[in-house]
Amino acid sequence: MYLYPSLILSVALVAAARSEMVHKSPDEEEEHATLIPTKDMEDKTRLLILYASQTGNSLDAAERISREAERRGAPAVVISMDDFDASCLPNENTVIFIVSTTGQGDTPDSMKVFWRSILQRTLSQQWLEGVQYAVFGLGDSGYQKYNFAAKKLDKRLSDLGAKAIIERGLGDDQHPSGYEGALDPWLSSLWNILNQMNPRIFPRGPESMGPDMKMMDRPKFQIIYHNVNKMQSLFPAVSDLKRLEMQIEGSRFMSTGKKIQDRNRPHCFLQMIKNQQLTRADCGRDVRHFEFEALSAIEYQVGDVLEVLPGQNPVAVDAFIQRCNLNPDSYITVMSFFATAQHEKERLQYFASPEGRDDLYQYNQKERRTVLEVLEDFPSVQIPFEWMVQLVPLLKTRAFSISSSPLAHPNQVHLTVSVVSWTTPFKRKRTGLCSTWLAGLDPQQRVHIPAWLQKGSLPSPSPSLPLILIGPGTGCAPFRAFVEERGVQSASGYTAPVLFFFGCRNEDNDFLYRDFWLSHAKSGGVLSEEKGGGFYVAFSRDQLQKVYVQHKMQEQSQEVWNLLSGGAAVYVAGSSTKMPADVLSCLEEIISKESGVPKESAVRWLRAQERAGKYYVEAWS
């Protein structure tokens, strides 16, 4: 996990303050820490922040806004939308909405009940008169319905009589700084507008305060240390698996709002039974096939997603504990910063200023610095544990498309994972936390892996639905599950044709699941021409001119149109950079060419297919 600019901002502002807090150290051999909310967590706010998050980013943004509001002397409360009674909305004065968009313009699960409530036809156009609001959306411009949930919410609030404080902000995962590239300037404008509207409730920000002024309220958590022997006597003996489950649940419920991420999602523990490299060892890329056995009964469908909670690097954890002078036998949450050296304070304050934003981006995001590296860069930083708990985001789960069929592999889950690694501008080698952790696991060690099953963006198709699948690279993962399931279904009944377009760099290096696809493309197989389907591969770098999946689709335009006109559904999965847009454009050209209609008509026809549930995209950065 790298340190977000918002956390650096917190670092700077906390470092600049002259805190009066006293941190007491316990007897390290006898005591553990328990976290309980202080009275300052009671709802005394004038500013309500409602968030709807699918993966946790909206929660992070909401908590950042809350911290900035409190530093400005405007106490705020952060609530997930599914914890808020929408009928109480007219009683609020100022509300900030932070909303993610999932799938193809869908609202997050935690927003669905709230959204249905404010869509009621009985609500008048004056229902929210007197309520002022602001909406910030988190989305990905690689998707056609970019930030659609935030746009819908903004319009509905306005239709109900609420007054927008500021034009809605739209964060984009495609921006080099992620959603914070838009959040930073949007927040700056928001605070200025709120100050002009009501300077008593929303005073000017910390940037206008002198270094001697106290800018922090009390921390939201109080730490109480307990005697280890006494604590152990309070709990009965439990199995290692149960103890692990209690630790995970306890940590994820510790911070207000974090529990929403895991509510109503089936969770399970998995054990890895296979770790196979799919790419050639010396090709410069490492894509793995993982197989897991569930320790209890699980249910899922093809197209679903598995979210994995990875472990941290033990070496990094030990170094962090040593740097922060923490007791390694305690249960802890990490991060927050107090600097005592003047030059370090000045540097942090510069990073927090508008003038330092570009340098902050270079320092933090371009280099993907870890918390430990930041602490080492600022050795005078001393960390009261209370502020660690308040500022640090929880370790997030990582989501992967499931690449197995439950019909073919009962009680198993398979994943296709690219092990992420890159080099920063200053030649630091970085690796993805979860993918590297999974790649390093030995199936013989039988490690318990906490995971959650989640509905993805690709609904499970019926056996009678013809399919056109486009999945270059690891985008093939869900389609391996689709084809595997069709193979089982075809043994006992009719299945519709499947046309699959796969793409990779080189036939010899990264032709993922070569034998699997070719076996199903043989006579009588799910992907065979005999069954009305087909399997076509684009090797982009095996010739001088690049060849991508859309080129193969154009070569088979008649076959594509035959399936489309026969009611086929299109499923697209893979990188969100250019591929989804290029595939969409290619399909528009194919429809226009093969049906003899103008391009505009082809565009409208394809949009109608999408509205009818015949066009799905699952893309990732």
**252-279: per-residue pLDDT in tens?**
554 444 444 445 566 889 999 999 999 9
**Token digits for 498?**
């499947």
- CA separation for the pair 350, 7 (Å, rounded): 14
**pLDDT at 534 (0 to 100):** 97
Angle at which helices 57-71 and 180-197 cross, to 10°: 40
Q: Is 145 exposed, middle or buried (0-12, 13-18, 19+ CB in 10 A)?
A: middle
**pLDDT at 229 (0 to 100):** 55
**pLDDT at 140 (0 to 100):** 86
**429-442: per-residue pLDDT in tens?**
888 999 999 999 99
The domains of the chain are located at 41-215, 467-620
**pLDDT at 20 (0 to 100):** 32
SS3 382: coil
Question: Does residue 493 contact residue 595 with C-beta atoms inside 8 Å?
Answer: no
Q: Which of 14-23, 31-40, 59-68, 493-502 has the highest mean pLDDT?
A: 493-502
**pLDDT at 425 (0 to 100):** 83
The count of C-alpha atoms lying within 13 angstroms of the C-alpha of 524, restricted to the half-sphere facing its C-beta, is: 3
Name the band, by pLDDT with cuts 50, 70 and 90, for residue 3: very low
Q: What is the DSSP-derived secondary structure letter of residue 402?
A: B
- CA separation for the pair 530, 536 (Å, rounded): 15
**Token digits for 575?**
């990188």
**70-120: per-residue pLDDT in tens?**
878 788 899 999 899 999 999 999 999 999 988 777 888 889 999 999 999
**pLDDT at 576 (0 to 100):** 77
Structural element, H or E, at residue 188: helix 180-197
Q: What is the DSSP-derived secondary structure letter of residue 473?
A: G
Q: What residue type is 287 in one-letter code?
A: V
CATH class (in words) of the domain with range 467-620: alpha beta
**551-610: per-residue pLDDT in tens?**
999 999 999 999 999 999 999 999 877 899 899 999 999 999 999 999 999 999 999 999
Question: Does residue 136 contact residue 186 with C-beta atoms inside 8 Å?
Answer: yes
Round the average pLDDT of the chain to a whole number and report it.
82
Q: What residue type is 515 in one-letter code?
A: D
Which of 78-82, 312-316, 522-526 is predicted with the least confidence, judged by mean pLDDT?
312-316
**pLDDT at 367 (0 to 100):** 78
Global pTM exceeds 0.75: yes
Length of the chain: 621
Name the band, by pLDDT with cuts 50, 70 and 90, for residue 18: very low
**496-507: per-residue pLDDT in tens?**
999 999 999 999
**pLDDT at 273 (0 to 100):** 97
**pLDDT at 212 (0 to 100):** 38
Which of 232-236, 281-285, 326-330, 475-479 is predicted with the least confidence, judged by mean pLDDT?
232-236
CA torsion, ordered 601, 602, 603, 605, to nearest 10 deg: 90
**pLDDT at 225 (0 to 100):** 57
pLDDT at 8 over 60: no
Residue with structure tokens 């895991």?
Answer: 262
467-620 has the same fold as 41-215? yes
**Token digits for 476?**
């093939």
- CA separation for the pair 93, 97 (Å, rounded): 13
| Mean pLDDT of all residues in 280-302 | 94
**Nearest partner of 586 among 564, 618, 619, 614, judged by Cα:** 564
CATH superfamily name and code, 41-215:
Flavodoxin domain (3.40.50.360)
Question: Does residue 619 contact residue 145 with C-beta atoms inside 8 Å?
Answer: no
Q: Which residues pair with 370 in a beta bridge?
A: 2
Q: What residue type is 576 in one-letter code?
A: S
Which of 62-66, 234-238, 349-353, 477-481 is predicted with the least confidence, judged by mean pLDDT?
234-238
| Mean pLDDT of all residues in 450-474 | 94
- CA separation for the pair 478, 469 (Å, rounded): 10
The count of C-alpha atoms lying within 13 angstroms of the C-alpha of 20, restricted to the half-sphere facing its C-beta, is: 7
- CA separation for the pair 234, 110 (Å, rounded): 35
Structural element, H or E, at residue 351: helix 342-352
Question: Does residue 494 contact residue 464 with C-beta atoms inside 8 Å?
Answer: yes
- CA separation for the pair 232, 373 (Å, rounded): 35
